[in-house]
Chain A
Amino acid sequence: MATERIIKVGRGETPSTAALAHLKQLLTSGHLDGLMIPMAMGGGRTFMHVLVTDPDALADADPFAPVMPVNGATSVSRLTKLEAPSGRIGVVLRPCEIAAAIELHKLLQVRLGDVVVIGVDCPGTISVKDHIDLVDAGKDPLSAVAEEPGLLREACMTCDWTRVQYHDMLLGTFGSDGKHVIVVSEDETLLGGLDKAPKGALEARESTIEKIEDIREKTTEAVEKEVDEHLQGPEGVAKHWETCIVCHNCMEQCPVCYCNECFFESQTFRYEGDKMMLWARNRGSLDMPTDKAMFHLGRMAHMVATCIGCGMCTQACPVGINVGRAFKYVASRVQPVYDYKAGRSVDDPLPQATYLEDELEPR
Protein backbone atom coordinates (compact mmCIF):
# COMPACT_ATOMS: atom_id res chain seq x y z
CA MET A 1 0.00 0.00 0.00
CA ALA A 2 1.30 3.40 -0.99
CA THR A 3 1.67 5.89 1.82
CA GLU A 4 1.34 9.64 1.30
CA ARG A 5 3.59 12.00 3.22
CA ILE A 6 4.44 15.64 2.96
CA ILE A 7 7.51 17.85 2.91
CA LYS A 8 6.69 21.37 4.06
CA VAL A 9 8.42 24.17 2.22
CA GLY A 10 9.77 26.38 4.98
CA ARG A 11 10.67 30.06 5.00
CA GLY A 12 13.60 30.73 2.70
CA GLU A 13 13.10 27.38 1.01
CA THR A 14 11.72 26.43 -2.40
CA PRO A 15 10.02 23.15 -3.32
CA SER A 16 13.34 22.23 -4.93
CA THR A 17 15.48 22.82 -1.86
CA ALA A 18 12.91 21.22 0.45
CA ALA A 19 12.67 18.07 -1.68
CA LEU A 20 16.45 18.03 -2.09
CA ALA A 21 16.90 18.06 1.68
CA HIS A 22 14.81 14.89 1.90
CA LEU A 23 16.77 13.20 -0.89
CA LYS A 24 20.03 14.22 0.75
CA GLN A 25 18.81 12.65 3.97
CA LEU A 26 18.14 9.37 2.13
CA LEU A 27 21.69 9.40 0.82
CA THR A 28 23.22 10.33 4.17
CA SER A 29 21.27 7.66 6.03
CA GLY A 30 22.31 5.00 3.53
CA HIS A 31 18.76 4.23 2.38
CA LEU A 32 20.08 5.18 -1.04
CA ASP A 33 23.64 4.46 -2.17
CA GLY A 34 23.51 6.81 -5.11
CA LEU A 35 21.30 9.44 -6.60
CA MET A 36 21.04 10.39 -10.26
CA ILE A 37 19.67 13.90 -10.23
CA PRO A 38 19.67 17.07 -12.38
CA MET A 39 22.60 19.25 -11.37
CA ALA A 40 23.32 22.86 -12.29
CA MET A 41 26.07 23.24 -14.87
CA GLY A 42 27.89 26.47 -15.64
CA GLY A 43 26.30 28.30 -12.74
CA GLY A 44 22.81 27.14 -13.64
CA ARG A 45 22.91 27.83 -17.39
CA THR A 46 21.69 24.27 -17.82
CA PHE A 47 21.11 21.14 -15.72
CA MET A 48 22.37 17.63 -16.44
CA HIS A 49 21.86 14.36 -14.58
CA VAL A 50 24.78 13.57 -12.30
CA LEU A 51 25.27 10.31 -10.39
CA VAL A 52 25.98 11.46 -6.85
CA THR A 53 27.27 9.34 -3.97
CA ASP A 54 28.55 12.10 -1.67
CA PRO A 55 25.65 13.97 -0.01
CA ASP A 56 27.77 17.11 0.05
CA ALA A 57 27.98 17.03 -3.74
CA LEU A 58 24.24 17.74 -3.94
CA ALA A 59 24.48 21.48 -3.34
CA ASP A 60 23.72 22.46 -6.95
CA ALA A 61 21.15 19.72 -7.60
CA ASP A 62 17.51 20.50 -8.42
CA PRO A 63 14.97 17.67 -8.80
CA PHE A 64 12.57 20.10 -10.52
CA ALA A 65 14.98 21.86 -12.90
CA PRO A 66 12.90 23.25 -15.78
CA VAL A 67 15.21 22.01 -18.51
CA MET A 68 15.95 18.57 -19.95
CA PRO A 69 19.05 18.54 -22.20
CA VAL A 70 19.07 14.73 -22.43
CA ASN A 71 16.17 12.39 -21.72
CA GLY A 72 17.27 10.73 -18.47
CA ALA A 73 16.16 7.30 -19.67
CA THR A 74 19.27 7.27 -21.85
CA SER A 75 21.40 7.57 -18.72
CA VAL A 76 19.38 4.95 -16.87
CA SER A 77 20.12 2.61 -19.77
CA ARG A 78 23.85 3.37 -19.52
CA LEU A 79 23.62 2.73 -15.79
CA THR A 80 21.77 -0.57 -15.84
CA LYS A 81 22.19 -2.30 -19.19
CA LEU A 82 25.56 -4.04 -19.02
CA GLU A 83 25.36 -4.92 -15.36
CA ALA A 84 23.12 -3.62 -12.63
CA PRO A 85 24.92 -1.34 -10.20
CA SER A 86 25.22 -2.78 -6.72
CA GLY A 87 23.33 -0.91 -4.07
CA ARG A 88 20.19 1.17 -4.38
CA ILE A 89 20.39 4.01 -6.85
CA GLY A 90 17.64 6.61 -6.88
CA VAL A 91 17.04 8.16 -10.28
CA VAL A 92 15.08 11.41 -10.46
CA LEU A 93 13.00 11.34 -13.62
CA ARG A 94 10.16 13.32 -15.19
CA PRO A 95 7.22 11.39 -16.58
CA CYS A 96 8.47 11.46 -20.19
CA GLU A 97 11.82 10.14 -18.99
CA ILE A 98 9.96 7.41 -17.10
CA ALA A 99 7.94 6.72 -20.27
CA ALA A 100 11.14 6.27 -22.26
CA ALA A 101 12.62 4.10 -19.49
CA ILE A 102 9.51 1.90 -19.61
CA GLU A 103 9.94 1.39 -23.37
CA LEU A 104 13.66 0.74 -22.94
CA HIS A 105 12.91 -1.74 -20.18
CA LYS A 106 10.74 -3.72 -22.58
CA LEU A 107 13.43 -3.40 -25.25
CA LEU A 108 15.89 -4.92 -22.75
CA GLN A 109 17.97 -1.73 -22.63
CA VAL A 110 17.04 -0.75 -19.08
CA ARG A 111 16.40 -2.79 -15.97
CA LEU A 112 13.83 -0.75 -14.14
CA GLY A 113 13.86 -3.07 -11.13
CA ASP A 114 17.52 -2.25 -10.51
CA VAL A 115 16.93 1.42 -9.77
CA VAL A 116 14.64 3.36 -7.47
CA VAL A 117 12.57 5.55 -9.76
CA ILE A 118 11.89 8.92 -8.14
CA GLY A 119 9.17 10.44 -10.32
CA VAL A 120 8.51 14.17 -10.24
CA ASP A 121 5.48 16.21 -11.23
CA CYS A 122 6.52 18.12 -14.33
CA PRO A 123 4.98 21.43 -15.32
CA GLY A 124 7.14 21.42 -18.45
CA THR A 125 10.61 22.36 -19.56
CA ILE A 126 12.25 25.09 -21.64
CA SER A 127 14.58 24.17 -24.49
CA VAL A 128 18.24 24.09 -23.48
CA LYS A 129 18.98 27.00 -25.77
CA ASP A 130 16.19 29.16 -24.34
CA HIS A 131 17.24 28.24 -20.81
CA ILE A 132 20.83 29.26 -21.45
CA ASP A 133 19.74 32.48 -23.17
CA LEU A 134 17.47 33.41 -20.24
CA VAL A 135 20.16 32.80 -17.65
CA ASP A 136 22.72 34.69 -19.71
CA ALA A 137 20.29 37.61 -19.92
CA GLY A 138 20.12 37.63 -16.14
CA LYS A 139 16.58 36.23 -15.98
CA ASP A 140 15.21 33.45 -13.81
CA PRO A 141 13.86 30.73 -16.13
CA LEU A 142 11.03 29.76 -13.76
CA SER A 143 9.67 33.29 -13.48
CA ALA A 144 10.11 33.75 -17.21
CA VAL A 145 7.88 30.72 -17.88
CA ALA A 146 5.33 31.88 -15.32
CA GLU A 147 5.07 35.14 -17.29
CA GLU A 148 5.21 33.57 -20.72
CA PRO A 149 3.98 29.94 -20.77
CA GLY A 150 4.63 29.85 -24.52
CA LEU A 151 8.31 29.52 -23.65
CA LEU A 152 7.74 25.85 -22.80
CA ARG A 153 8.74 23.30 -25.40
CA GLU A 154 5.88 22.21 -27.68
CA ALA A 155 6.32 18.63 -26.43
CA CYS A 156 5.61 19.88 -22.92
CA MET A 157 2.63 22.00 -23.90
CA THR A 158 1.16 18.90 -25.53
CA CYS A 159 2.49 16.42 -22.95
CA ASP A 160 0.54 13.18 -22.43
CA TRP A 161 2.23 12.48 -19.08
CA THR A 162 0.74 14.91 -16.62
CA ARG A 163 0.15 12.04 -14.19
CA VAL A 164 3.36 10.26 -13.17
CA GLN A 165 2.60 6.78 -14.49
CA TYR A 166 5.25 4.69 -12.68
CA HIS A 167 7.49 5.32 -9.71
CA ASP A 168 9.02 3.88 -6.57
CA MET A 169 8.71 7.29 -5.00
CA LEU A 170 6.77 10.32 -6.18
CA LEU A 171 7.66 13.94 -5.52
CA GLY A 172 4.40 15.76 -6.26
CA THR A 173 4.28 19.53 -6.57
CA PHE A 174 1.03 20.04 -8.49
CA GLY A 175 -1.64 21.91 -6.57
CA SER A 176 0.73 22.84 -3.75
CA ASP A 177 1.17 26.51 -4.55
CA GLY A 178 4.83 26.04 -3.75
CA LYS A 179 4.00 25.37 -0.09
CA HIS A 180 4.72 21.66 0.13
CA VAL A 181 5.86 18.59 -1.79
CA ILE A 182 3.80 15.42 -1.61
CA VAL A 183 5.81 12.23 -1.28
CA VAL A 184 4.21 8.91 -2.18
CA SER A 185 5.83 5.49 -1.86
CA GLU A 186 5.16 1.92 -0.85
CA ASP A 187 8.64 1.78 0.60
CA GLU A 188 8.75 3.06 4.19
CA THR A 189 12.52 3.51 4.09
CA LEU A 190 12.07 6.27 1.51
CA LEU A 191 9.58 8.15 3.67
CA GLY A 192 11.47 8.27 6.96
CA GLY A 193 10.67 11.19 9.20
CA LEU A 194 8.01 12.78 7.01
CA ASP A 195 4.57 13.83 8.26
CA LYS A 196 1.38 12.35 6.93
CA ALA A 197 -0.05 14.23 3.99
CA PRO A 198 -3.24 16.13 4.84
CA LYS A 199 -6.17 15.01 2.71
CA GLY A 200 -6.74 18.35 1.01
CA ALA A 201 -3.22 18.29 -0.42
CA LEU A 202 -3.84 15.14 -2.44
CA GLU A 203 -7.15 16.42 -3.68
CA ALA A 204 -5.66 19.74 -4.71
CA ARG A 205 -2.96 17.87 -6.64
CA GLU A 206 -5.57 15.74 -8.35
CA SER A 207 -7.67 18.67 -9.48
CA THR A 208 -4.59 20.54 -10.72
CA ILE A 209 -3.60 17.49 -12.75
CA GLU A 210 -7.02 17.43 -14.34
CA LYS A 211 -6.79 21.11 -15.22
CA ILE A 212 -3.34 20.74 -16.77
CA GLU A 213 -4.45 17.66 -18.70
CA ASP A 214 -7.29 19.66 -20.10
CA ILE A 215 -5.08 22.53 -21.24
CA ARG A 216 -2.54 20.14 -22.75
CA GLU A 217 -5.23 18.25 -24.63
CA LYS A 218 -6.53 21.49 -26.14
CA THR A 219 -3.03 22.52 -27.18
CA THR A 220 -2.51 19.08 -28.72
CA GLU A 221 -5.65 19.55 -30.77
CA ALA A 222 -4.43 22.92 -32.02
CA VAL A 223 -1.03 21.48 -32.98
CA GLU A 224 -2.66 18.52 -34.73
CA LYS A 225 -4.72 20.96 -36.76
CA GLU A 226 -1.51 22.63 -37.90
CA VAL A 227 -0.18 19.26 -39.00
CA ASP A 228 -3.45 18.48 -40.79
CA GLU A 229 -3.02 21.68 -42.74
CA HIS A 230 0.69 21.84 -43.39
CA LEU A 231 2.37 18.48 -42.93
CA GLN A 232 0.46 16.46 -45.49
CA GLY A 233 1.38 14.87 -48.78
CA PRO A 234 4.81 14.66 -50.40
CA GLU A 235 5.05 18.47 -50.63
CA GLY A 236 4.12 18.95 -46.98
CA VAL A 237 6.62 16.36 -45.84
CA ALA A 238 9.37 17.77 -48.09
CA LYS A 239 8.68 21.27 -46.84
CA HIS A 240 8.76 20.22 -43.18
CA TRP A 241 12.28 18.82 -43.59
CA GLU A 242 13.40 21.32 -46.23
CA THR A 243 16.28 22.73 -44.18
CA CYS A 244 17.44 19.38 -42.76
CA ILE A 245 21.21 18.87 -42.93
CA VAL A 246 20.86 15.09 -42.39
CA CYS A 247 23.05 15.18 -39.28
CA HIS A 248 20.99 12.41 -37.57
CA ASN A 249 21.07 14.35 -34.32
CA CYS A 250 17.32 13.85 -33.84
CA MET A 251 17.98 10.12 -33.84
CA GLU A 252 21.04 10.40 -31.56
CA GLN A 253 19.00 12.22 -28.92
CA CYS A 254 15.93 10.02 -29.22
CA PRO A 255 15.79 7.97 -26.01
CA VAL A 256 13.99 5.02 -27.60
CA CYS A 257 16.24 4.86 -30.70
CA TYR A 258 18.60 2.49 -28.99
CA CYS A 259 20.22 0.49 -31.82
CA ASN A 260 23.99 0.40 -31.53
CA GLU A 261 24.24 0.07 -35.29
CA CYS A 262 21.63 2.30 -36.85
CA PHE A 263 20.53 0.99 -40.23
CA PHE A 264 20.47 4.52 -41.58
CA GLU A 265 24.15 4.99 -40.73
CA SER A 266 25.14 1.69 -42.32
CA GLN A 267 27.03 1.08 -45.55
CA THR A 268 23.66 0.45 -47.21
CA PHE A 269 23.53 4.18 -47.78
CA ARG A 270 27.07 4.58 -49.14
CA TYR A 271 27.04 4.47 -52.92
CA GLU A 272 29.43 4.36 -55.84
CA GLY A 273 29.61 7.67 -57.64
CA ASP A 274 28.04 6.24 -60.76
CA LYS A 275 24.99 5.10 -58.86
CA MET A 276 24.44 8.64 -57.68
CA MET A 277 25.01 9.90 -61.22
CA LEU A 278 22.32 7.48 -62.40
CA TRP A 279 19.82 8.83 -59.87
CA ALA A 280 20.80 12.39 -60.70
CA ARG A 281 20.14 11.68 -64.39
CA ASN A 282 16.79 10.02 -63.66
CA ARG A 283 15.49 12.92 -61.63
CA GLY A 284 17.52 15.71 -63.13
CA SER A 285 19.23 16.25 -59.78
CA LEU A 286 20.02 14.43 -56.57
CA ASP A 287 19.89 16.03 -53.13
CA MET A 288 23.10 15.74 -51.15
CA PRO A 289 23.61 14.34 -48.60
CA THR A 290 21.31 11.64 -49.98
CA ASP A 291 18.44 9.78 -48.30
CA LYS A 292 16.94 12.57 -46.26
CA ALA A 293 13.34 11.38 -46.64
CA MET A 294 14.49 7.77 -46.29
CA PHE A 295 16.11 8.59 -42.97
CA HIS A 296 13.14 10.38 -41.49
CA LEU A 297 10.36 8.11 -42.77
CA GLY A 298 12.45 4.98 -42.27
CA ARG A 299 13.32 5.93 -38.70
CA MET A 300 9.65 6.69 -38.17
CA ALA A 301 8.73 3.22 -39.42
CA HIS A 302 11.28 1.68 -37.06
CA MET A 303 10.42 3.44 -33.83
CA VAL A 304 7.17 5.40 -33.99
CA ALA A 305 5.29 2.61 -32.20
CA THR A 306 7.56 3.29 -29.20
CA CYS A 307 7.72 7.10 -29.53
CA ILE A 308 6.82 8.62 -26.17
CA GLY A 309 6.67 12.21 -27.37
CA CYS A 310 9.38 13.84 -25.24
CA GLY A 311 10.47 16.10 -28.09
CA MET A 312 14.20 15.59 -27.60
CA CYS A 313 14.46 15.32 -31.41
CA THR A 314 13.13 18.83 -31.87
CA GLN A 315 15.41 20.20 -29.18
CA ALA A 316 18.42 18.51 -30.77
CA CYS A 317 17.85 19.82 -34.29
CA PRO A 318 20.48 22.41 -35.23
CA VAL A 319 18.29 23.97 -37.90
CA GLY A 320 15.11 24.24 -35.85
CA ILE A 321 12.98 21.56 -37.50
CA ASN A 322 10.03 20.50 -35.36
CA VAL A 323 10.78 16.80 -35.76
CA GLY A 324 8.82 15.83 -32.67
CA ARG A 325 5.64 17.42 -33.98
CA ALA A 326 5.63 15.05 -36.95
CA PHE A 327 6.61 11.99 -34.91
CA LYS A 328 4.10 12.62 -32.17
CA TYR A 329 1.31 13.15 -34.68
CA VAL A 330 2.09 9.91 -36.47
CA ALA A 331 2.65 8.02 -33.20
CA SER A 332 -0.82 8.95 -32.01
CA ARG A 333 -2.21 7.39 -35.19
CA VAL A 334 -0.03 4.28 -35.30
CA GLN A 335 -0.05 3.16 -31.67
CA PRO A 336 -3.84 2.86 -31.27
CA VAL A 337 -3.83 0.32 -34.10
CA TYR A 338 -2.05 -2.01 -31.66
CA ASP A 339 -4.09 -0.83 -28.69
CA TYR A 340 -0.80 0.50 -27.44
CA LYS A 341 0.36 3.68 -25.78
CA ALA A 342 4.14 3.78 -25.58
CA GLY A 343 5.41 4.70 -22.12
CA ARG A 344 2.18 3.85 -20.33
CA SER A 345 3.01 0.59 -18.63
CA VAL A 346 5.69 -2.07 -18.34
CA ASP A 347 2.92 -4.65 -18.64
CA ASP A 348 1.73 -3.71 -22.14
CA PRO A 349 3.72 -5.93 -24.52
CA LEU A 350 5.76 -4.20 -27.23
CA PRO A 351 3.64 -4.08 -30.39
CA GLN A 352 6.42 -5.49 -32.56
CA ALA A 353 7.13 -8.34 -30.15
CA THR A 354 3.66 -9.79 -30.15
CA TYR A 355 0.64 -10.43 -32.39
CA LEU A 356 -2.88 -11.74 -32.37
CA GLU A 357 -4.03 -14.30 -34.89
CA ASP A 358 -7.26 -12.47 -35.43
CA GLU A 359 -6.40 -8.84 -36.06
CA LEU A 360 -5.60 -6.27 -38.76
CA GLU A 361 -5.56 -6.87 -42.52
CA PRO A 362 -5.27 -9.11 -44.45
CA ARG A 363 -6.89 -11.94 -42.54
Chain B
Amino acid sequence: MTDKDRKGEGKAAAGDDFEPVIVGFFCNWCTASAADLAGTSRMQYPPNVRPIRVMCTGSVDTSFVLRALLEGADGVLVGGCHPGDCHYVTGNYRARRRLTGVIKILEALALDPERFRFEWISASEGAKFAKVVTDFTEDIKRMGPSPLKEL
Protein backbone atom coordinates (compact mmCIF):
# COMPACT_ATOMS: atom_id res chain seq x y z
CA MET B 1 0.00 0.00 0.00
CA THR B 2 1.34 3.43 -0.84
CA ASP B 3 1.18 6.46 1.41
CA LYS B 4 -1.56 7.86 -0.74
CA ASP B 5 -3.83 4.83 -0.31
CA ARG B 6 -3.38 4.90 3.42
CA LYS B 7 -4.13 8.57 3.55
CA GLY B 8 -7.36 8.00 1.66
CA GLU B 9 -8.42 5.30 4.10
CA GLY B 10 -7.53 7.21 7.18
CA LYS B 11 -9.39 10.34 6.21
CA ALA B 12 -12.51 8.84 4.60
CA ALA B 13 -15.78 10.12 5.99
CA ALA B 14 -18.89 8.10 6.80
CA GLY B 15 -21.15 7.47 3.87
CA ASP B 16 -21.43 5.22 0.90
CA ASP B 17 -17.83 5.66 -0.16
CA PHE B 18 -16.40 4.89 3.27
CA GLU B 19 -14.39 1.70 3.05
CA PRO B 20 -13.44 0.65 6.57
CA VAL B 21 -10.14 -0.98 7.40
CA ILE B 22 -10.69 -4.10 9.47
CA VAL B 23 -7.78 -5.95 11.00
CA GLY B 24 -8.38 -9.67 11.39
CA PHE B 25 -6.39 -11.88 13.74
CA PHE B 26 -7.17 -15.36 12.43
CA CYS B 27 -6.08 -18.63 13.95
CA ASN B 28 -3.93 -20.66 11.55
CA TRP B 29 -5.84 -23.88 12.29
CA CYS B 30 -9.36 -22.68 11.71
CA THR B 31 -10.43 -19.19 10.70
CA ALA B 32 -7.46 -18.63 8.37
CA SER B 33 -8.43 -21.84 6.54
CA ALA B 34 -12.08 -20.83 6.58
CA ALA B 35 -11.03 -17.64 4.79
CA ASP B 36 -9.24 -19.71 2.13
CA LEU B 37 -12.25 -21.97 1.80
CA ALA B 38 -14.59 -19.01 1.35
CA GLY B 39 -12.25 -17.74 -1.35
CA THR B 40 -11.83 -21.01 -3.23
CA SER B 41 -15.59 -21.61 -3.01
CA ARG B 42 -16.08 -18.19 -4.63
CA MET B 43 -18.27 -16.90 -1.82
CA GLN B 44 -18.79 -13.17 -1.95
CA TYR B 45 -17.65 -11.03 0.95
CA PRO B 46 -16.29 -7.49 1.26
CA PRO B 47 -12.52 -7.05 0.87
CA ASN B 48 -12.10 -4.79 3.90
CA VAL B 49 -10.35 -7.28 6.17
CA ARG B 50 -6.55 -7.22 6.42
CA PRO B 51 -5.90 -10.72 7.74
CA ILE B 52 -3.07 -11.52 10.12
CA ARG B 53 -2.46 -15.22 10.62
CA VAL B 54 -1.71 -16.18 14.22
CA MET B 55 -0.90 -19.65 15.52
CA CYS B 56 -3.72 -19.52 18.06
CA THR B 57 -6.08 -16.88 19.43
CA GLY B 58 -4.25 -17.54 22.68
CA SER B 59 -1.34 -15.60 21.19
CA VAL B 60 -3.37 -12.45 20.55
CA ASP B 61 -2.34 -10.02 23.26
CA THR B 62 -4.87 -7.45 24.40
CA SER B 63 -2.49 -4.71 23.34
CA PHE B 64 -2.53 -5.97 19.71
CA VAL B 65 -6.25 -5.27 19.49
CA LEU B 66 -5.89 -1.85 21.05
CA ARG B 67 -2.91 -0.96 18.90
CA ALA B 68 -4.80 -1.82 15.72
CA LEU B 69 -7.69 0.40 16.83
CA LEU B 70 -5.46 3.27 17.89
CA GLU B 71 -3.37 3.17 14.74
CA GLY B 72 -5.98 3.25 12.05
CA ALA B 73 -8.25 0.20 12.05
CA ASP B 74 -11.98 0.90 12.06
CA GLY B 75 -12.68 -2.55 13.42
CA VAL B 76 -10.86 -5.62 14.73
CA LEU B 77 -12.07 -9.18 14.21
CA VAL B 78 -10.55 -12.16 16.00
CA GLY B 79 -11.43 -15.61 14.71
CA GLY B 80 -10.52 -18.82 16.48
CA CYS B 81 -11.32 -22.48 16.96
CA HIS B 82 -14.59 -23.49 18.61
CA PRO B 83 -14.48 -24.45 22.29
CA GLY B 84 -12.89 -27.86 22.62
CA ASP B 85 -11.14 -27.57 19.24
CA CYS B 86 -8.15 -25.36 20.09
CA HIS B 87 -4.94 -27.04 18.92
CA TYR B 88 -3.24 -25.89 22.10
CA VAL B 89 -6.18 -27.13 24.15
CA THR B 90 -7.06 -23.99 26.11
CA GLY B 91 -5.72 -21.08 24.02
CA ASN B 92 -9.19 -20.02 22.89
CA TYR B 93 -10.66 -20.12 26.41
CA ARG B 94 -7.84 -17.98 27.68
CA ALA B 95 -8.18 -15.63 24.73
CA ARG B 96 -11.88 -15.27 25.47
CA ARG B 97 -11.08 -14.23 29.03
CA ARG B 98 -8.40 -11.77 28.04
CA LEU B 99 -10.19 -10.26 25.09
CA THR B 100 -13.42 -9.88 27.05
CA GLY B 101 -11.31 -7.60 29.23
CA VAL B 102 -10.61 -5.37 26.23
CA ILE B 103 -14.31 -5.12 25.45
CA LYS B 104 -15.03 -4.19 29.06
CA ILE B 105 -12.35 -1.49 29.01
CA LEU B 106 -13.76 -0.04 25.79
CA GLU B 107 -17.26 -0.20 27.30
CA ALA B 108 -16.22 1.43 30.57
CA LEU B 109 -14.63 4.39 28.78
CA ALA B 110 -17.23 4.56 25.96
CA LEU B 111 -14.60 3.84 23.31
CA ASP B 112 -16.82 2.15 20.71
CA PRO B 113 -16.70 -1.45 22.01
CA GLU B 114 -18.66 -2.60 18.94
CA ARG B 115 -15.55 -2.10 16.86
CA PHE B 116 -14.13 -5.30 18.28
CA ARG B 117 -15.60 -8.73 17.55
CA PHE B 118 -14.54 -12.25 18.54
CA GLU B 119 -15.97 -15.31 16.73
CA TRP B 120 -15.43 -19.05 16.57
CA ILE B 121 -15.02 -20.06 12.91
CA SER B 122 -13.77 -23.56 12.12
CA ALA B 123 -11.80 -24.50 9.00
CA SER B 124 -14.92 -25.92 7.37
CA GLU B 125 -17.07 -22.86 8.03
CA GLY B 126 -16.29 -20.86 4.89
CA ALA B 127 -19.88 -19.68 4.75
CA LYS B 128 -19.80 -18.51 8.37
CA PHE B 129 -16.58 -16.66 7.66
CA ALA B 130 -18.14 -14.86 4.70
CA LYS B 131 -21.22 -13.97 6.73
CA VAL B 132 -19.30 -12.72 9.77
CA VAL B 133 -17.06 -10.55 7.60
CA THR B 134 -20.03 -9.20 5.64
CA ASP B 135 -22.07 -8.38 8.74
CA PHE B 136 -19.14 -6.87 10.59
CA THR B 137 -18.10 -4.75 7.62
CA GLU B 138 -21.65 -3.44 7.26
CA ASP B 139 -21.86 -2.64 10.98
CA ILE B 140 -18.58 -0.76 10.86
CA LYS B 141 -19.66 1.09 7.72
CA ARG B 142 -22.76 2.24 9.56
CA MET B 143 -20.64 3.40 12.50
CA GLY B 144 -18.35 5.38 10.24
CA PRO B 145 -14.61 5.92 10.60
CA SER B 146 -13.27 5.13 14.05
CA PRO B 147 -12.60 8.11 16.29
CA LEU B 148 -10.10 5.97 18.21
CA LYS B 149 -7.39 6.50 15.60
CA GLU B 150 -7.32 10.16 16.56
CA LEU B 151 -6.25 9.22 20.09
Contact = CB atoms under 8 A, between A and B. Distances in A.
Given A233-B110, A263-B63, A293-B151, A333 B104 contact: yes
B105 A300 contact: yes
Nearest to A241: B151
Interface residues of A, number: 40
Contacts of A233: 109-111, 147
A362 B120 contact: yes
Contacts of B61: 263
A189 interface: no
Contacts of A357: 83-84, 93
Interface stretch (A8-16, A26-34, A276-284): A276-284
A166 interface: no
Interface in B45-100: 61-63, 65-67, 70-72, 83-84, 90, 93-94, 96-98, 100
Interface string A265-307: 0000000000000110111000000000110011011101100
Interface of B: 3, 6-7, 10-11, 61-63, 65-67, 70-72, 83-84, 90, 93-94, 96-98, 100-102, 104-105, 107-111, 118-120, 147-151
A195 B7 CA distance: 76
B88 to A, nearest CB: 13
Contact of A330 (B83, B96, B105, B149): B105
B108 A333 contact: yes
A55 interface: no
A143 B41 CA distance: 77
A208 B23 CA distance: 53
Given A282-B6, A297-B70, A333-B104, A234 B147 contact: yes
Contacts of A223: none
Nearest to A287: B151
A334 B67 contact: no
A338 B148 CA distance: 26
Contacts of A204: none
Contacts of B107: 333
A283 B70 contact: no
A236 interface: yes
A301 B76 CA distance: 16
B27 to A, nearest CB: 13
A265 to B, nearest CB: 13
Contact of B118 (A231, A293, A356, A361): A361
B7 A301 contact: no
Contact of A304 (B11, B63, B72, B105): B105
B97 A234 contact: no
Nearest to B121: A362
A363 interface: yes
A301 to B, nearest CB: 4
A166 B51 CA distance: 48
B66 A301 contact: yes
B72 A301 contact: no
A98 to B, nearest CB: 24
Which of A231, A279, A282 has most B Cβ within 10 Å? A282
A329 interface: yes
B83 A282 contact: no
A346 interface: no
Minimum-distance CB pairs A-B, first 10: A301-B62, A355-B93, A293-B151, A298-B63, A232-B110, A333-B108, A234-B147, A282-B10, A334-B104, A233-B110
Contact of A301 (B11, B105, B110): B105
B139 to A, nearest CB: 16
